[in-house]
Every structure is written in C-alpha cells, then in structure tokens.
Amino acid sequence: MLSTETVAEPPEASRIPLTTLANILVIEDEDLIRETLVLALEEEGYHTLVASDGYEALSLMNNYLLTDSFPKDAEIHLIILDVMLPGINGLDLCRIIRGEGCTVPILMISAKGSEIDRVVGLEIGADDYLAKPFGMREMLARCRALLRRTQIQPSTALTVLRFRDLCLYPQECRVTLRGKEINLSPKEYKLLELFMRHPRRVWPREQLLDQVWGPDFIGDSKTVDVHIRWLREKIETDPSHPQYILTVRGFGYRFG
C-alpha cells in the first residue's frame, strides 16, 4: 500500500504538525482544469490524488476515507470537488462523505456561482465554495486556509514515497528496493516517480510521453514500452508477471 511519509520519527503530540505533507484529492472531469490544479498544488509542495468521474472518486474515497484500513500518514487531508461530474455528481459525493461521518475539509468548485448554488453546497457539508473561473492563487489560499484548521501545510521535510518494499526519495533522486539502492536512468526515475505520485491512475502512452519526455518530443510512443520494460527488469521480481507497474490493455499503464 502506497504512503507518503516524513523520514523523521512521528511526534507524540495528538495534533498533526505543520511539516506533515498534505494529501489532496482532486475530483474534476475536465482534463485541462484537473491537470492545472494538480500542477499548482504539487508546485506548492502538496501530494495529489486524482479522479475524473464520480465512480472513480467514490472508489478512491472508499480506499482512503471511508474505511479504517488505510495508514494514518497517507490519508486524504483535503478534497477539491467539482459539482458537475459524470456518474455520481459532486453534491451526492459530498452527501456520501458526510453521511459516513468523515470530516475531511471539502473545497467545492463549480461553474454555477449563484448564491443559491453556493448555499446548497455549503448546506450539504462543503467547507468552502469556489466559482469557476478562478485564479490559482485564490484556490491555493483557500486550500491553505482549510488545511490550517487541521494544521496541515506543504512539507519542507524530506519525504518518502513508499509502496510495499519499494521506496523513492524525491529530494535525493534515489530509489531503494528491499533496502538496497537501485540504479535508474533519468527517464526511468521520472517514470517511477510519476507512477508513485499517482497510484492506481491509468496513464496512456501519450500522457506519459508528455509528462516524462515533454510535449516537444518527436518519436515513437513505443519508447514508453521500452522504458517500462527496462524499469520492470530493475524493480519487479518477475518482469513477465509485474506487481508494481501493470498493463491496462487498451488504455496504458497503472502503478499498484
């Protein structure tokens, strides 16, 4: 199970310290808006999870919020929730979350910015409401305000992305497997970091090329397959039956 944790020993105090890395779930069906939100949040030092429709969001929330089995240091601390979602809409998702007794702060975003829309969102359990279009500075300020209530802030401490016996240290650009450091090429490292920062997300080859090789890359998308094969040979016990990087036929690749 994936977790993001500080290297330092956890404090004894019951309140969460300001140096804890905040995990933010972004639920937005429009690709451009979702990717812009994620980029702005991660540049501020937050860790993000994403969902593009109501059912995917509910599945993530069942894993991270509505059960007691997920590690405390990897739980979600804030939800950015779009109202107009395919599948299950944002209002119904908000009702489900609050109906389970979950108190995670929710920042609701919507193209509907009338007073009655804002009132409805707040009445069903959202903590704040932001009407589209909005600026990233305002969005980040509202996130910081909501996270201050639980004393969660962007982390400046050394962090570790961990999945089973695989650990990635973003600030040191190194990876260990079962306690032993493994050597990755820059592209292999960037692929693995992208996967571990977005567990369970399915990545088409074209998106991996944009994220790792850049939008100006000119070449065959099979380049991704080659680097995935090389990466599997270094981290998988049996590369032909991978446990970390999985192939989702017809769509792309998924981590975990």
pLDDT along the chain (256 residues), means of 10: 39 36 89 92 87 86 57 70 90 86 89 81 89 91 87 56 86 87 91 88 89 80 91 93 92 89
User: Which residue, among 125, 126, 51, has the nearest Cα to 87 in the 3D structure?
Assistant: 51
**Exposed (0-12), middle (13-18) or buried (19+): which is 234, by Cβ within 10 Å?**
middle
d(CA 196, CA 190) in angstroms, rounded, equals 10
Domains of the chain, with CATH numbers?
A: 16-148 (3.40.50.2300), 160-255 (1.10.10.10)
Residue appearing with tokens 């279009």: 133
d(CA 157, CA 137) in angstroms, rounded, equals 23
- pLDDT score, position 73: 43
User: Which residue, among 141, 154, 180, has the nearest Cα to 24 in the 3D structure?
Assistant: 154
Q: Within 13 Å, how many C-alpha atoms sit on residue 53's CB side?
A: 4
Q: Per DSSP, which regions of 120-242 are E strands?
A: 128-131, 159-163, 166-169, 174-177, 180-182, 202-203
- pLDDT score, position 112: 82
d(CA 156, CA 118) in angstroms, rounded, equals 34
Q: Within 13 Å, how many C-alpha atoms sit on residue 50's CB side?
A: 23
